[in-house]
């Protein structure tokens, strides 16, 4: 079977599966459209959350990023998993008990204010749009690399598929397709990882393999550190960023994760409070399978790559080297014309430029795995991108149809009308996301980090204080959110886009990068919220009762 | 089944949160970042220990922490649900 044919076959089969699930689980009420009828099993919800969470970037780029950053890459590993502990312990059970459809609904009700609700809607929209543009682009890139269609057609195909199952099925359809997508993506990620681990260390478990000895009897990580030293790179297990910055970036990613509306809303879909806790546990377990394998792949791929190319003759390179050279992901520039590849940490000597995505994409070929594994990888990358895009789409459509139209603009809208409005907003959101996927603004890459910073600086304090601090009132929450978000936007635009006088890393406040600044903005939000709320009138009695009620797990029939 | 509305439930919950979140902070920010250089002098199989905590250990502990919390809270919920 030719490679092209296997790829079309496997991608086609998985797409047919997603569409089949969407038809089977279409939504007929707003309750089903927004929160899947609140009847999702905690394990199924855990898988759906994991697929929702792991985007094209986690699937394709993360192992590669880590393999170039070494220890510094730990910020992503800890940052994008540690947030689930905060979710499970501080947010999910209480928000489930509260029992509404969206995050802005909680903020609006808890702070008895439509101003707070509107601020929350805008935060949710900004965060979700910056995210979804990247996902549509990811779909396009995967299509163009594996199926030999151009990126734009790839984006159109992706838009069509997402549109179909998100509009038809709402949260219910999305949840069950995400369960299928999780299975596809984790299988596709693990198969090559296991094969490569066996090949390099004789250990089938990649998590243990990268701490084992290679065929030459030396620990793999010691060997890689040695290679790095020889070639002038900083030591793999130590990294080069400042510890303070690592600390702040990790914290911003963790707290941002816990504040992302498309993740939080998944916990509204289960039956009861104890299920919300359970599904957070399952979600993290399913995510951890990929996140603990990625650093192993990073080490395997890095060692493999250096050993294959370093100081070797260009004409003797294996066939995958030439193939990825054609795609532009590998570039060899023979500066001293000796036909030998010098790969070095010193920019003046280095002759090889490697795109980080190649570490995952070329893995099956480097390990000489059969065609169906490569096809599986394509299907897995698409599953990762589509599932995240669909989850974000739903947050956008429910923020508009439920929080803006139903609660503020037209409260007397019928359930049927609201459902139509929800489907229309999903439709326009896909078109807009597709537009950004085809014409990506330069700042897409920069703004993914912005999304985490924004979520950390705006939602997280408002939600946590809303649950754990009864005295918290609307004046405090609104000023905290507004100041947190503006401070974050100011810092990011100043140092990322050069606004407000710009500046480089030597001008960073306390040496903290824009990626880590979300933590600072969040702390400021907490301080402002608590201070203002103590200077103003305490919240009304019924709000205190509401807070006391969400703290207890009893169902209404208890 | 009636849920007994008592301040003790919330107090117990807060106690669990403080203990579990301290462990959460220690394994990630503590072992994986602040103390990473000291721990890297210890060899743990083929890993330097600090590096292992940052890229593997902390994630395993996160998963365990959530399941411990699930267990503790289910037990607590049961205690406060009486048949009266």
Q: How far apart are CA B57 and CA B31, in angstroms?
A: 9
Query: Residue A468 has what pLDDT?
Result: 94
Contact A415, A29 (CB under 8 A): yes
Asked whether the beta carbons of residue B60 and residue A292 sit closer than 8 angstroms, the reply is yes
Contact A484, A521 (CB under 8 A): yes
Give the three-class secondary structure for A330. Answer: strand
Contact A127, A261 (CB under 8 A): yes
DSSP character at residue A270: B
Could you read off the pLDDT of A24-80 as tens digits, one per residue? 888 888 888 888 888 889 999 999 999 999 888 788 888 888 988 889 999 999 999
Could you read off the pLDDT of A501-527 as tens digits, one per residue? 877 778 888 888 888 899 999 999 999
**Helices marked H in A148-268:** 151-201, 206-209, 220-231, 243-259, 261-264
Residues near B25 by Cβ (< 8 Å), separated by ≥ 6? none
DSSP character at residue A219: B
Contact A393, A166 (CB under 8 A): yes
Residue A558: which pLDDT band, with cuts at 50, 70 and 90? Answer: very low
pTM of structure: 0.92
Which residue is listed with tokens 């929800």? Answer: A422
Give the mean model confidence (pLDDT) for residues A278-290.
95
The full set of domain ranges for chain A reads 3-21+40-311+363-550
Average pLDDT of chain A to the nearest whole number: 86
Q: Which two tokens stand for residue A365?
A: 């070929």
Residues of A in contact with B66 (CB under 8 A): 84-85, 88-89, 277, 280-281, 284
| Helices A541-550, A103-110: inter-axial angle, 10-degree rounding | 140
CATH of domain A3-21+40-311+363-550: 1.20.1730.10
Q: How far apart are CA A125 and CA A395, in angstroms?
A: 8
Query: Residue A556 has what pLDDT?
Result: 54
Q: How far apart are CA A47 and CA A270, in angstroms?
A: 13
Q: DSSP labels for A43-99?
A: HHHHHHHHHHHS-HIIIIIHHHHHHHHGGGGHHHHHHHHHHHHHIIIIIHHHHHHH-
Residues near A263 by Cβ (< 8 Å), separated by ≥ 6? A49, A52, A53, A87, A257
What is the CA A434 to chain-centroid distance, rounded? 18
Q: How far apart are CA A205 and CA A297, in angstroms?
A: 11
Residue A134 pLDDT greater than 80, yes or no = no
Q: How far apart are CA A318 and CA A248, in angstroms?
A: 42
Contact A146, A382 (CB under 8 A): no
Nearest to A465 by CA among A406, A528, A508, A409: A528
Could you read off the pLDDT of A359-373 as tens digits, one per residue? 887 878 777 788 888
ipTM entry: 0.94
Asked whether the beta carbons of residue A554 and residue B3 sit closer than 8 angstroms, the reply is yes
The full set of domain ranges for chain B reads 2-82
Q: Which two tokens stand for residue A53?
A: 């969470």
Question: What is each CA distance from B44 to A13, A236, B23, B51, in whole angstroms?
Answer: 44, 16, 20, 10
By the 10 Å C-beta count (0-12 exposed, 13-18 middle, 19+ buried), A231 is classed as middle
The shares of helix, strand and coil residues in chain B, as percent rounded to the nearest 5, are: 75, 10, 15
Q: DSSP labels for A481-526?
A: HHHHHHHHHHHHHHHHS--TT---GGGSGGG--TTTHHHHHHHHHH
- Interface contact A278, partner B, CB < 8 A: yes
* Contact residues of B toward A, CB < 8 A: 1-3, 5, 9-10, 13, 17, 20-21, 24, 28-29, 32-34, 36-37, 40, 44-48, 51-52, 54-56, 58-60, 62-63, 65-67, 69-70, 73-74, 77, 81
Q: Which residue has the higher pLDDT, A262 or A324?
A: A262
């Amino acid at each position: 079977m030719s490679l092209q044919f296997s790829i079309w076959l496997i991608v086609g089969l998985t797409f047919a599966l997603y569409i089949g699930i969407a038809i089977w689980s279409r939504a007929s009420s707003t309750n089903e459209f927004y929160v899947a009828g609140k009847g999702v099993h905690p394990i199924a919800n855990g898988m759906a959350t994991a697929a929702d969470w792991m985007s094209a970037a986690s699937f394709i780029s993360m192992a590669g990023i880590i393999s170039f950053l070494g220890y510094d890459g730990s910020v992503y590993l800890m940052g994008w998993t540690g947030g689930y502990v905060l979710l499970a312990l501080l947010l999910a059970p209480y928000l489930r008990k509260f029992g509404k459809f969206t995050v802005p609904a909680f903020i609006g009700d808890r702070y008895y204010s439509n101003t707070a609700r509107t601020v929350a809607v805008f935060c949710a929209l900004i965060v979700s749009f910056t995210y979804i543009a990247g996902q549509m682009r990811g779909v396009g890139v995967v299509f163009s690399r594996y199926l030999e269609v151009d990126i734009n057609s790839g984006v159109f195909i992706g838009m069509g598929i997402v549109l179909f199952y998100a509009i038809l099925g709402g949260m219910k359809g999305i949840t069950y397709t995400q369960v299928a997508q999780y299975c596809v993506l984790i299988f596709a990620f693990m198969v090559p990882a296991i094969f490569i681990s066996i090949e390099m260390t004789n250990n089938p478990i990649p998590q243990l393999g990268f701490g084992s000895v290679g065929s030459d009897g030396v620990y793999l990580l010691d060997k890689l550190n040695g290679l790095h030293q020889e070639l002038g790179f900083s030591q793999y297990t130590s990294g080069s960023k400042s510890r303070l910055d690592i600390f702040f970036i990790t914290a911003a990613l963790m707290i941002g994760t816990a504040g992302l509306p498309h993740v939080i809303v998944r916990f509204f879909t289960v039956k009861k409070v104890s299920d919300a806790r359970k599904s957070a546990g399952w979600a993290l377990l399913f995510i951890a399978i990929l996140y603990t394998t990625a650093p192993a792949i990073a080490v395997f791929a890095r060692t493999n790559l250096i050993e294959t190319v370093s100081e070797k003759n260009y004409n003797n390179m294996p066939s995958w080297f030439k193939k990825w050279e054609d795609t532009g992901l590998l570039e060899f520039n023979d500066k001293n014309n000796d036909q030998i590849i010098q790969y070095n940490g010193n920019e003046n000597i280095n002759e090889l430029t490697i795109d980080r995505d190649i570490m995952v994409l070329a893995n099956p070929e480097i390990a000489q795995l059969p065609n169906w594994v490569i096809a599986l990888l394509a299907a897995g990358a698409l599953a990762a991108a589509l599932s995240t895009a669909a989850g974000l789409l739903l947050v956008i459509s429910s923020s508009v149809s439920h929080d803006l139209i139903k609660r503020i603009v037209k409260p007397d809208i019928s359930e049927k009308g609201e459902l139509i409005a929800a489907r229309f907003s999903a439709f326009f959101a896909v078109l807009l996301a597709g537009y950004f996927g085809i014409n990506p603004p330069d700042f897409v890459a920069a703004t993914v980090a912005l999304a985490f910073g924004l979520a950390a600086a705006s939602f997280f304090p408002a939600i946590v204080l809303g649950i754990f601090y009864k005295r918290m009132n609307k004046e405090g929450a609104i000023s905290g959110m507004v100041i947190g978000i503006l401070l974050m936007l100011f810092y990011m635009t100043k140092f990322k886009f050069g606004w407000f006088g710009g500046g480089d890393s030597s001008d960073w406040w306390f040496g903290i990068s824009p990626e880590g600044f979300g933590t600072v903005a969040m702390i400021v939000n907490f301080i402002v919220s608590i201070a203002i709320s103590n200077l103003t009138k305490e919240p009304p009695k019924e709000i205190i009762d509401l807070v006391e009620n969400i703290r207890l797990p009893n169902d209404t029939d208890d | 089944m009636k849920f007994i509305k008592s301040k003790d439930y919330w107090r117990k919950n807060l106690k669990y949160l403080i203990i579990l979140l301290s462990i959460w902070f220690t394994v990630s920010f503590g072992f994986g970042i602040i103390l990473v250089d000291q721990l890297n002098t210890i060899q743990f199989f083929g890993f330097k220990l600090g590096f292992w905590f940052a890229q593997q250990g902390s994630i395993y502990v996160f998963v365990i922490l959530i399941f411990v919390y699930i267990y503790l809270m289910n037990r607590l919920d049961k205690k406060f649900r009486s048949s009266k």
